[in-house]
Every structure is written in C-alpha cells, then in structure tokens.
Amino acid sequence: MSNDLEQVNIKIACPVCYSKWEVSENSLNNVSKAEFARQICGCNTEVKIPSALVQKSYSSRLNKVIKESKREENKKLPYLWSTMTKNNIFIDHVEEKLPETITLTKRRGIMCKIFSPYKYIPQWRLPFLYFGKFHEKVKEIENSVDKSKLNKKYILLKHKCQKNLKNLPDWETKFDFIPDYSVDHDNSYTILRALKERDPWYIDFLSERFISILDKRKEVTLCRIPSATKDKISGCDDLINVLASKSSLLTDGSKCLQRIESIPSAHQGGIRDFDQHIKTAKIFNSHLIENKDVLLIDDITTSGTSIDAFTHMLLLAKPKTLTTFVYGVTIK
C-alpha cells in the first residue's frame, strides 16, 4: 500500500485568529498542532500588496529624502531602498511573464518587490504527497516519452510550452486523484523537484526560462538565501552555478550569503524570525556585491521574513541595485 493511502488528515486551528484547516498528519513533523497552525496562518504573516496610491506615495517620500540629503552617505540608503521596488535587471514589462510578482512591506515600512512566476501549493494543504503518488505518475509519463525525439523541456511536467506532453494518452486520468487539479500543482512539484530534490533536468529547465527574461545588457551578481543548515548545498546553489556557466554577464555569488550556525528549517517547525536569520548568517566576498547589480534568489516565499532579513544584510554591503526573485509564492 502506498504512503498516500495511509495518510491521516487532522483538523488544526490558529491560536491567534482561530482559523481552521484540515491537513495531513505527516506534515506536522513533530510540531504541535497549535504551532503548525500559527506558522501557516496568514493572520500574522500576510505578505501585503500595497495599492498603486500607496506605492506612488512611497516613491515620493523616498525622492524627498534623497533630495533633502546633503551628505553623500545619507543619499545612498534611500536610493537602495527605491531600487527594491523597481525592475533593475529584467526585460521590459517582465511582470507579464512573472504573474505572481508581489510587493513585501519590510521593517520600517520599506517596500521590496518580489518577482515570481508561479503560485506554490504547500504540502500540508494536499491529500497526497508530491513525492508519493504524484511523483510516481510523473515518472510514468517521463518514461513513456521517446527522449531522443523531444527537447528535454518537453519531458518536464505540464507547463504552458509543453504541448507534446499535454497530448499524451491518459494525461488527465493519471492525475484524477487530485481534487481541482491545476497547473499550480504542476508548478509546485517542478519547484520542489528542481530546487529541493536538485534534479539536473529541472534545474536546467528553470535556468533557461530565467535567462529568457534577463536584460542581456546587464552584469548581475546572483546570490541566494542560504539553507537553514550550515554548509548545506541547495538547489538554488546549483541553479546559480548553471546560470553563471551559461552567461558571462552573470557572476556566481552563491557563497556571498552563508549560514554560520544551523537553525531549524521552517517546514520542520522552525520559527520564521528576522533576528534569528541575522544572527546566524554572514556576508562573504562582499566585493562581488559592492556597487553591483545584485539579484537575490529563493525557491519559495511564505511570510517574507527570510527575504526581509537577507535583503537587509545585502544592503549593508552597498550594492548598486538590489532585486529579489522567488520561484513560488505560497498560496494563502
């Protein structure tokens, strides 16, 4: 009997706002029901999307600070804050290709635009395991394709460009065990397979799509948010390495942000805390950041706390501009 059939769903409630969910018991990972509910609830971790009027007001205030600054060092920080709300390194109108782009309100009201292509459905919301029955069906499909006749991106899971896979026999029936099956399930699995499982094919696919939206005139240093575990290599490290190998304009800055002390990961019950990130991580090779166009990459964002912390750290290294990109924004 597969693990999917043995799953037991339980009911949990947020201790703050009493919102309720039904989740898989496997997703708790030795965390109490109350603590797990608090982590996933949006009542105290909601990523805010400011109105156009608020964003315009914010830009005006930043410009005023810049104009009123008489000392050169006072001008730098407001300018850097303003770069985090702009498209510094991508092609024009990139939001059309990155439809899940949001704006995070950081500490002290500072705004940070997070560019993102996909929605992410977390495991706890699902009655199956991504790397259980879902993975088995994907492998069945991949193994049924004559790989010598298809570009490898067509062997990946069902993306908009993968029309050949969509037309395979029994495609829909293979996933009929999923209620309200959608492309969001596919994208979520792809993110995990590439950046959590470190699958080379999937990493290469994501790298090709990423390069297609970059401004080919810009030199960019690529950084990533480090793993919760000290010295652990992540799929984002692999991705940056692949990207840097494909373009001489891209610099591998994957070692610029490093964890100097391990902390519990969020999915294992770790608390998402700004100060904890700051105390357990450090910047290295700051020459790759100073006065450079810098891109901070992460796989998935839920509360935005890690992005808040690591953009703060990067700003202290005085980049020319700072842009943030994640592959998946967790559905609330």
Burial 181-203 (b: 16+ CB within 10 A, else e): eeebbbbbbbbbbbbbebbeebb
In a domain, 202, yes or no: no
In a domain, 185, yes or no: no
Tell me the two tokens of residue 107. Answer: 């500490």
Mean pLDDT over residues 180-197, rounded?
90
CB 256 within 8 A of CB 288: yes
**Position 269 confidence tier, pLDDT thresholds 50, 70, 90:** low
The reply to whether 305 and 248 lie within a common domain is yes
The reply to whether 139 and 62 lie within a common domain is no
Mean pLDDT over residues 188-199, rounded?
93
Would you state the pLDDT for residue 146?
A: 61
In a domain, 47, yes or no: no
Could you tell me whether strands 102-105 and 111-115 are parallel, antiparallel, or unpaired per DSSP bridges? Answer: antiparallel
Instruction: Give the burial class of 234: count Cβ atoms within 10 A of its Cβ; 0-12 exposed, 13-18 middle, 19 or more buried.
Output: buried
The reply to whether 92 and 112 lie within a common domain is yes
In a domain, 250, yes or no: yes
The pLDDT of residue 115 is above 90: yes
The reply to whether 116 and 148 lie within a common domain is no
The reply to whether 234 and 318 lie within a common domain is yes
**Total Cβ atoms within 10 A of residue 51:** 8
Taking the alpha carbons at both ends of the chain, their separation in whole angstroms is: 32
Read off the pLDDT of residues 31-78 as tens digits, 9 standing for 90 and up: 677 667 766 665 544 445 566 677 677 667 666 665 665 555 555 677
Q: How far is CA 70 from CA 75, 110, 318, in A?
A: 8, 21, 19
Query: Strand ranges (DSSP E) for 9-128?
Result: 9-13, 20-24, 102-105, 111-115, 118-120
Instruction: Give the burial class of 102: count Cβ atoms within 10 A of its Cβ; 0-12 exposed, 13-18 middle, 19 or more buried.
Output: middle
In sequence order, what DSSP letters do the residues of 114-158 get, joined into one string? EE-SEEE--GGG-SS-IIIIIHHHHHHHHHHS-TTTS-GGGTSS-
Could you tell me whether strands 20-24 and 111-115 are parallel, antiparallel, or unpaired per DSSP bridges? Answer: unpaired
Tell me the two tokens of residue 156. Answer: 């990946």
**Total Cβ atoms within 10 A of residue 39:** 20
In a domain, 265, yes or no: yes
The reply to whether 146 and 109 lie within a common domain is no
Would you state the pLDDT for residue 46?
A: 47
Mean pLDDT over residues 194-198, rounded?
94
The reply to whether 243 and 312 lie within a common domain is yes
Give residue 36's domain range.
Answer: 9-40
The reply to whether 218 and 317 lie within a common domain is yes
Read off the pLDDT of residues 121-145 as tens digits, 9 standing for 90 and up: 999 889 999 999 999 988 887 777 6
